[in-house]
């Protein structure tokens, strides 16, 4: 049994129900967050909540629940579920309205939903290398907002699955933005590069952790523009996200790429140590 939280109640996930007139369901008018819990301890919860509340403000969504209340509930959801290692999903929508209208009713009460799933892939040094494909980025221009309006990302993941890729990496006007569910790093001549936050990307929490690790290892790193060509001639390519950690890329569009892994291994080792701290 998986225990979730919905609007003041802890209940079995299969019993959780919302109205079809909830704005999150009708419009994707909601913000979500996904984070890992290792050994019953939420990883980088403060950083995730920082981003979450910035995103709520970004879409002018006001909720009656405070940050501390939300944190307490998240920790209770983790404890109420049996698994030691979990993926926690948090979502707040603008809530139910009796009449569908693009303009929200300021009196509507937000819907707060938190649930847990098994964390299947623990970060480890024997993780498989991944295959990516490059595609034009056709998403909206506010990808920094972690909205549940994810149809473009769904289509990219369907395409990746159909064509036997692990991830789709996106580019805009010849420059890499991010993956459909990941951030992107590359290494050239022992220098790490990742697209800057000005490149219409999500400020990934794992991305931030990896940047800090690289700096602590005294490896040069630049948050700057990364061209498609830069990616193709890189010595190493990494993708990062909450559910997978950091992974090394071995193929782009079915073509083998250099994946020395020298710097990757050092960074991955430090990342694993952080998840166990």
Q: Choose among 172, 164, 165, 163: nearest CA to 135.
A: 172
Given 146, 215, 216, 218, the catalytic residue:
146
Helices (H), 13-150: 23-27, 45-58, 67-80
d(CA 216, CA 4): 38
Catalytic-residue membership of 266: no
In this structure, which long-range contacts are made by residues 104-111, counting pairs with CB atoms below 8 Å and at least 24 apart in sequence? 104/23, 104/29, 108/23, 109/64, 110/61, 110/62, 110/63, 110/64, 110/65, 111/6, 111/7, 111/18, 111/22, 111/24, 111/30
Write out the catalytic residue numbers. Answer: 146
């Amino acid at each position: 049994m998986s225990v979730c939280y919905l609007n003041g109640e802890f209940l079995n996930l299969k019993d959780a129900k919302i109205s079809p007139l909830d704005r999150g369901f009708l419009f994707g008018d909601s913000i979500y967050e996904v984070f890992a819990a290792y050994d019953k301890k939420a990883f980088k919860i403060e950083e995730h909540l920082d981003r979450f509340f910035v995103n709520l403000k970004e879409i002018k969504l006001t909720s009656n629940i405070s940050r501390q209340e939300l944190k307490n509930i998240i920790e209770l959801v983790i404890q109420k579920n049996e698994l030691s290692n979990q993926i926690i999903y948090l979502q707040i929508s603008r809530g139910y309205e009796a009449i569908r209208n693009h303009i929200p009713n300021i009196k509507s009460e937000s819907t707060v939903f938190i649930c847990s799933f098994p964390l299947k892939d623990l970060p480890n040094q024997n993780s498989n290398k991944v295959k990516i494909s490059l595609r034009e980025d056709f998403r909206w221009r506010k990808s920094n907002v972690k909205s549940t309006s994810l149809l473009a990302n769904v289509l990219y993941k369907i395409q990746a699955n159909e064509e036997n890729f692990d991830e789709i990496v996106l580019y805009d006007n010849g420059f890499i933005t991010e993956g459909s569910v990941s951030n992107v790093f590359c290494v050239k001549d022992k220098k790490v590069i990742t697209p800057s936050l000005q490149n219409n990307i999500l400020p990934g929490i794992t991305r931030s952790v990896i940047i800090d690790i690289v700096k602590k290892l005294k490896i040069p790193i630049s948050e700057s523009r990364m061209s498609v060509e830069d990616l193709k001639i890189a010595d190493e390519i990494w993708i990062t996200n909450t559910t997978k950690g950091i992974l090394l890329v071995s193929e782009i569009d079915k073509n083998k790429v250099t994946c020395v892994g020298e710097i990757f291994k050092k960074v991955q080792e430090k990342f694993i140590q952080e998840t166990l701290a």
